[in-house]
Amino acid sequence: MRLLLALLVLAVARPWARAADEHWCYEIQKKTEPNCLGPKEWKWDCQKKRQSPINIIASNAEVKKDLGLFSFSSYEKKKKWNVTNNGHTVLIDLNKEAKIEGGGLNTEYQATQLHFHWSRNLTGGSEHSINGEHTAMEMHIVHQKKQLTSKSQRASENTSEDIAVLAFLVKVGSQNDNFQPLVDILPTISKPNTSTAMNEPVSLFDLIPEKEKLKDYFRYLGSLTTPECSETVVWTVFQEPIYLGKDQVLPFSEKLFYDKSRKKNMTDNVRPPMQSLEGRSVYKSYSSAAPERLLPLALTTLLVPALAYLTAGSL
């Protein structure tokens, strides 16, 4: 009888234990929620070796010629997007309407959602860093690989690149009017699990740098930066930042909250870039190497006439 009771207790306890394991949070939340799992304690795939984010050392990135221009579809469509405070970030549901191809990707990807990471510290809100430099925020446009039709195709598919994330570092600069419709509605979704629609239509092209400035980027294989940290992401980190006014960045930390009682400001929702490369390569787009290629060409242009003159003088 005692054994039976013990087994029943264990059966009931296990689901609760799993639920506790799933209560993950950011480091700043552990100050008031000691029972939640901070980034160093995240489980699932978070302890594997192909994790994100990373610090990108630009000089170590290898030029890859097939990392050319992206092709964007429906990025120009303006919509009053639905925006949600999901308890971890601000998320915009993109409904797989916009798509990307090219940029060294092996197929078409459909945009599922867009979200942000940020901090009150205007040099500590990005998850990725370039040459050790962090920025005020980071914006991720998340894309899912277009589903294959046949069962045999799906079975042979490489899942290591199921998700393509376009990452944009956000720096403080001049006011960005295209972002104001998003900033304006932040107070209406201050509590977790609340949603609202933008008051004005905005396109994805409105939110990212001009198309001609998207030629330069870094590429590596990594993971989601939140649990379960699935290692299924092909990352594109653009060199050209997005610029927002200081009064547009700070409302993310001031108007949004982790809790329903609105006592814990939602800020520092970043996974530290403590992830080791573990033998992975970081690549940069072909256009990023243009200045390096131009120098030898310029020297050649100057040296050829000079050598010809010297040779003629010696005859």
* Cα–Cα dist 269/286, whole Å: 33
Residues 6+ apart with CB under 8 A from 139: 114, 115, 116, 167, 168, 170, 207, 208, 242
The answer to whether 128 is a known catalytic residue is no
C-beta separation of 214 from 242 below 8 A:
no
Catalytic residue of the set 88, 128, 134, 143: 88
* Cα–Cα dist 89/208, whole Å: 19
Length of the chain: 315
Residues 6+ apart with CB under 8 A from 222: 50, 51, 52, 53, 54, 231, 233, 235, 275, 280
Q: DSSP string spanning 165-182?
A: EEEEEEEE-S--GGGHHH
- As annotated, the active-site residues are 88
